[in-house]
Structure 1
Amino acid sequence: MELNQQIEQYKNDLIQSVQELIRIKSVQGEAQEGKPFGADVDEALNKALSIAEKMGFRTVNLDGYIGYAEYGEGEDYVGVLGHLDVVPEGDGWIYPPYAAEIHDGKIYGRGTMDDKAPILAALYGLKAIKDLQLHLKRKVRVIFGTNEESGCQEMEHYLAREKPPVSGFTPDAEYPIIYAEKGITFFDLVKNLEQKHEEDVVIKSMKGGQRANMVPDYCEAQVVAKDSAQIIKTVQEFAEITGYTIFAEPQDSGVIIKSKGVSAHGSLPHLGKNAIMQMMQLLGKLSLGDNDAANFIAFLNKYVGMETDGKSFGVDLEDKESGKLSFNVGTISLENNEVRLGLNLRYPVTYNLEDMMDLIYKRLEGTGIGVELNLHQKPLYFSVDHPLIKSLQKVYTEQTGMEATLLAIGGGTYAKEMPNIVAFGPILPGEEDLDHQANEYIKIEHLVLNAKIYAHAIHELAK
């Protein structure tokens, strides 16, 4: 337990270093020369590197994109990857978001949990190893990312110039260990609305959702109808039967139909109520006739509906490691003779993109609906017997006394941006997750515990 005793001696210095970083509002800003993500993010990077230099580590700043602190010798290295950029603070804070005030044993501020304090905990863990002169077989790098919240462009810069670690972790998620992360896709289904008929009801425009990776909580459609009163009555009856929050309001040129749902993360679509698909069901009840818009709506109602696992669409992939595919309809726009539907599908870790896309193309055959793939992240998956997983399980159990169960998630962590690493902490089981929320904080006792866990993890992987 030499490492733990050493870290206890650093407690006040660790708190002070965390406070110094939290006081920098490192939200992405306008790019400047040598500061690709803005002056504030650059200030945070320089502060972290300065803290590391004072500890006696060799530091490198890669053109303002990313930096690292390094200890040890050899070609191969163990990597600890964290990030210094933060999301905007938002409203509702009880203490100033960039003051790093301490109340009831907690440091409050944006970045205390995501991810400034945890990466500093890892840095102090490495300092304990250095000060105790513990033998390491591999070099260790604590890597300070700067663009995790806005696209991870810094990782492209890093991996174009540096080889990846042979193993490591990112303290940017939760404990115990996330060993499986589903493949993530964002794509649009697109159809040109060429076939038109003058029917009793015509959809003039439609808009819903904010992002593909969110369950949409609002959708509205502008409808032109010969009998607006009948449309309003149909909507009222539909709302009563289904219990959906959906209503219609008369306009000079027809009717505006509004559907309200409940938002949730795109990785967990079953936790929300999809306002777009509620709207599709309602529109399917209207006299739209035989045209491209009506056929698109009928297709969605038949093959998607309110399902969130892709079963009717024919993409209900599943494995024992990570569970079922998740299927989220996130956005829709109908205007200028085109309808565009934004989807976020997350597929199980033992499948690949082609497995899923082949099934999608098969379902779309003959519909005239095209696919535009916007983003793809491969699954992250380590065998339960992988040495990295076994090492982190051993450390976690020894330092916490808790079982190191393995987690599989539909979301994507920073680990996907760097080969050979997994997400490991810092949120302990039973603790609330305030990442991106108001009143983000880290308990000081957990900050110190994280430093101890990370010190042992680094030593275990590098020795």
Structure 2
Amino acid sequence: MLDKKVEELRDEFLNSLVEILKINSVEGKKLPGMPFGEGPNEALEKALEICDDLGFNTVNLDGYVGYAEYGSGEDYVAVLGHLDVVPEGEGWMYPPYGAEIHDGKLYARGVMDDKGPIFAALYGLKAIKDLGLPLSKRVRVIFGTNEESGSHDMPYYVEREKPPVAGFTPDGMFPIINGEKGLTMFRLVKEFSHGEEGVNNIEYIAGGRKANMVPDYCEAKVTGENLSEVLFALEEYADRTGIKLEGILEEDKLIVKSYGKSAHGSTPEKGINAISGIIAFLGQLDLPKGDIREFIEFYNKYINFEIHGESMNCDLYDDISGYLSFNVGAIDINKEKGSILLNLRYPVTKTFEEMMNPIEEIIKDYSISIEDMDHEKPLYFSPDSDLIKILQKVYTEYTGEEATLLSIGGGTYAKTMDNIVAFGPIFPGKPDLDHQPNECMEIEDLMMCAKIYAKAIYELAK
């Protein structure tokens, strides 16, 4: 009955989804009643308007979060998604906010991440409501508005509402993500108190933009004597190592440029770190004694091109989620200070202290401090938990495939609220187009998600 009812709602579901996809909901300037700007607020208001029309009770928590609720009972089951999107970027075949259908695919920024999936869940709940299926718990479809820019919306919700007893976020991949690594972003900072002028001097090193991105560009300014010899050494080093380096020689300075390959910070092995490339070369130069030289030596000895933190003695591992990932996202070195921005993600069965204690032991010998620490604990659900077993049963019923469990280095909304696990929407073998140009989802995949989510909600709340 659920499958049949979801099919009957196909046109209504897609029309509502198109409405929400046409709204550019990239984070904007904070305004009164709009904590994340006009776009996310417009999307939230439209989503709640649609939910009102569908007959759900709706609540808007001051523009941070909204939800649609159905049923009665002391406890509730939640589906947690988000309406904000990343910037559209370049290279689209079709208008990123046009929500056009071509060859059975719906194209729009946010159709996969995460407007399409959360609306699939909404219409799955609508099917349950229309059929009048008996539930023992309330069901909430929760609409966040800041997942792409730090999830600053969820603390507002958690402080005001009790947590669900079970639920899922349709913002990962199928079958089920039961493990998410612990996530940290922080800086290694050293104040420079002394230095000498020598044959080669580093005026600055700058590269990278975000902790969770492998930087594809970094540059440095070198001054001093015999810069033509430094340029020759750079070219020879690049040829010998394969590191992509370029030097631009002017009268009194040499600008050294390093090029890498960008990748997400959770998978640094897929990228080439431009910062590590330039620091490796600068470490070959005859630099004067002082703090800058010491900072470069520290980098080359303990960080280099490593992606698991081996030399930092923090290369943690478990069989569930694999090795710790170690990414240098940005660097800023000048005459006064050096700063290295790191993004480390540690295995789900390990602890923050197991990762940080060896690092702290090493950096104290270099008078390096840790600043701007941002930490999210790992998320892990046992395969024996009721939530996991129910979702596995539903997934296998609809796909005929084994519902294997996945662990990831990225983080989802599941970390922001108790008793939530990531469940879909990307099916095995299908491309992950989150944040990409030409983000799209096949219409039939959206419909399958709606059916799976309808059954999952019913099984959790019946």
Tell me what 2:105 maps to.
106
Unaligned runs of 5+ in 2: none
One-letter amino acid of the structure 2 residue matched with residue 301 of structure 1: N
Tell me what 1:4 maps to.
3
Tell me what 1:16 maps to.
15
Once the 2 structures are TM-superposed, how far is the Cα of residue 289 of structure 1 from its aligned partner? Answer: 3.3
One-letter amino acid of the structure 2 residue matched with residue 387 of structure 1: D
Counterpart Cα distance in 1 of 2:52 and 2:253: 67
Superimposed CA distance per residue, residues 227-257 of structure 1 (whole angstroms, 9 cap, x where no aligned partner): 1111111111111110111122212222111
Counterpart Cα distance in 1 of 2:58 and 2:86: 26
Once the 2 structures are TM-superposed, how far is the Cα of residue 46 of structure 1 from its aligned partner? Answer: 1.6
Once the 2 structures are TM-superposed, how far is the Cα of residue 310 of structure 1 from its aligned partner? Answer: 0.5
Counterpart Cα distance in 1 of 2:241 and 2:293: 21
Q: CA RMSD in A?
A: 1.2
Counterpart Cα distance in 1 of 2:38 and 2:238: 51
Q: Is the 8 A contact 1:18 1:120 kept in 2?
A: yes
Aligned residues: 462
One-letter amino acid of the structure 2 residue matched with residue 355 of structure 1: E
Q: Is the 8 A contact 1:113 1:440 kept in 2?
A: yes
Tell me what 1:145 maps to.
144
One-letter amino acid of the structure 1 residue matched with residue 45 of structure 2: N
Question: Where do 1:106-185 residues align within 5 Å?
Answer: 106-185=105-184
Once the 2 structures are TM-superposed, how far is the Cα of residue 37 of structure 1 from its aligned partner? Answer: 2.1
Q: Is the 8 A contact 1:349 1:379 kept in 2?
A: yes
% identical aligned pairs:
56
Unaligned runs of 5+ in 1: none
One-letter amino acid of the structure 1 residue matched with residue 265 of structure 2: G
Once the 2 structures are TM-superposed, how far is the Cα of residue 336 of structure 1 from its aligned partner? Answer: 3.9
Tell me what 1:457 maps to.
456
Alignment partner of 1:240 is 2:231: no
Superimposed CA distance per residue, residues 153-198 of structure 1 (whole angstroms, 9 cap, x where no aligned partner): 2211111110111110001111111110101111111112222122
Secondary structure in structure 2 of the residue aligned to 1:230: helix
Q: Is the 8 A contact 1:100 1:108 kept in 2?
A: yes
Counterpart Cα distance in 2 of 1:41 and 1:331: 29
Secondary structure in structure 2 of the residue aligned to 1:24: coil
Tell me what 1:86 maps to.
85
Superimposed CA distance per residue, residues 319-369 of structure 1 (whole angstroms, 9 cap, x where no aligned partner): 111110011111111114111111111111111212211111111132111
Q: Is the 8 A contact 2:333 2:339 kept in 1?
A: yes
Once the 2 structures are TM-superposed, how far is the Cα of residue 145 of structure 1 from its aligned partner? Answer: 0.8
Once the 2 structures are TM-superposed, how far is the Cα of residue 305 of structure 1 from its aligned partner? Answer: 1.6
Question: Where do 1:21-420 residues align within 5 Å?
Answer: 21-420=20-419
One-letter amino acid of the structure 1 residue matched with residue 276 of structure 2: M
Q: Is the 8 A contact 2:203 2:335 kept in 1?
A: no
Q: Is the 8 A contact 1:225 1:255 kept in 2?
A: no
Secondary structure in structure 1 of the residue aligned to 2:366: coil
Q: Calculate the TM-score normalised by the size of structure 2.
A: 0.98
One-letter amino acid of the structure 2 residue matched with residue 217 of structure 1: D
Once the 2 structures are TM-superposed, how far is the Cα of residue 435 of structure 1 from its aligned partner? Answer: 1.2
Superimposed CA distance per residue, residues 396-447 of structure 1 (whole angstroms, 9 cap, x where no aligned partner): 0101111111111111112111211011111111111111111111211111
Range 162-171 or range 130-139, more displaced: 130-139
Secondary structure in structure 2 of the residue aligned to 1:82: strand
Q: Is the 8 A contact 1:185 1:373 kept in 2?
A: no
Counterpart Cα distance in 2 of 1:34 and 1:212: 30
Once the 2 structures are TM-superposed, how far is the Cα of residue 134 of structure 1 from its aligned partner? Answer: 1.4
One-letter amino acid of the structure 2 residue matched with residue 111 of structure 1: G
Once the 2 structures are TM-superposed, how far is the Cα of residue 456 of structure 1 from its aligned partner? Answer: 0.7
Counterpart Cα distance in 1 of 2:446 and 2:125: 15
Once the 2 structures are TM-superposed, how far is the Cα of residue 459 of structure 1 from its aligned partner? Answer: 0.8
Counterpart Cα distance in 1 of 2:27 and 2:261: 29
One-letter amino acid of the structure 2 residue matched with residue 160 of structure 1: E
Q: Calculate the TM-score normalised by the size of structure 1.
A: 0.97
